Amino acid sequence: MRGAGDQWQFANGVTFVGGRVLGFGNVLTSGLDAGITYLAPFAGVGYASRDGAEDQARLRHEQDTKMKALARVFHAAGIRCEVLDASKMQTTLWRKLIVNAAINPLASLLDAPNRVSSNSVASSEGSRHCVNMVVQEALAVAEQEQIPLECTQNELVEDILEVARNTGSNVCSMLADLRRGSRTEVEAITGRIVAGGKRHGVPTPTNELLLSLIKALEDEGTRRQSE
C-alpha cells in the first residue's frame, strides 16, 4: 500500500483470489468464497535504531491500528483476509510465487482459463505432472534461499490444484497479456525461480522451458503488433 508521503506505506499483501477486469468499475472475481488475501505490515516500517522502547511501542500500536482498519475494509468488501506477522509474509509470498509459476505459464500455453476447458491446469493429467515438476524445482530453490515453506511437495501441489479449481473461470494475467500482444510478468515469476536455481546451482529445467516458451509467445505477439 503506497500513497502520498509515508501515510499508506505500511502494508504488504498477497491474494489467492482471481480477478479479471471486464470494464471500468467492473471486475469478475473467482475463488472469492475460498480464496484468502493475506496482509502484513512492512517489516521495520517507521522504526529506527535510535528510537527508544516507548517510541517503538507507540509505532507498533499505530501500525497494528492501521492493519486492523485495512482488514475491516477488505472484510466489508466481502474479501476474506488474514493479518500476518511481517516475518511470515516472505513465506506466503514464496508460496504465491510457486502457485503462479505452476498455473500461469501452463494456462497461457493451453490458452485456457484455469479450469473450464478439458485441457486446463486442474483437469489434465499432463498439466498436473508439469505442476509437480515446477513445484519440485521451486521447492529446491526455496530451500537454498532459506525460505521456510512448511509444507511437502504433495501438499503444495494439492494447494495449487485447489487454487486452479477455485479460480476456474479466471483468465490469468499472463494469458490476458499474451492475448493483447503485451509483455508478461513471466520474468518476475518463473524467471525468479530460474535465476535462483542458477545462483545456487539447482537445476530448473521445467521452469526454464516454460520461461522460454512464454517469452517466445511474447516475441510472436510483438511481431504481430508491428505488422
Active-site residue set: 96
CB 63 within 8 Å of CB 45: yes
CB 203 within 8 Å of CB 163: no
Would you state the cell numbers that stand for residue 120, as one nine-digit string? 486446463
- Compute the mean pLDDT over every residue in the chain, rounded to the nearest whole number: 83
- Looking at residue 10, its amino acid is F
Quickly tell me which residue has 517503538 as its cell: 56
Q: Helices then strands (H, E): number in the chain?
A: 7, 5
CB 46 within 8 Å of CB 7: no
Q: What is the mean pLDDT of residues 133-154?
A: 94
Residues, the chain: 227
Distance CA 114, CA 104 (A): 8
Q: Which helix (H) or strand (E) holds 194?
A: helix 186-200
Q: What is the mean pLDDT of residues 131-153?
A: 94
CB 75 within 8 Å of CB 81: yes
What confidence score (pLDDT) does residue 89 get? Answer: 85
Domains and CATH numbers, the chain: 11-83 (no CATH), 86-224 (1.10.1040.10)
Distance CA 102, CA 170 (A): 15
Q: Per-residue pLDDT tens for 85-131?
A: 877 888 889 999 999 999 999 999 988 877 644 456 666 788 889 99
Q: Report DSSP state, residue 25.
A: T
Whether residue 5 has pLDDT greater than 90 = no
Residue 205: Cβ-neighbour burial (10 angstroms; 0-12, 13-18, 19+): exposed
CB 201 within 8 Å of CB 148: no
Q: What is the mean pLDDT of residues 15-24?
A: 75
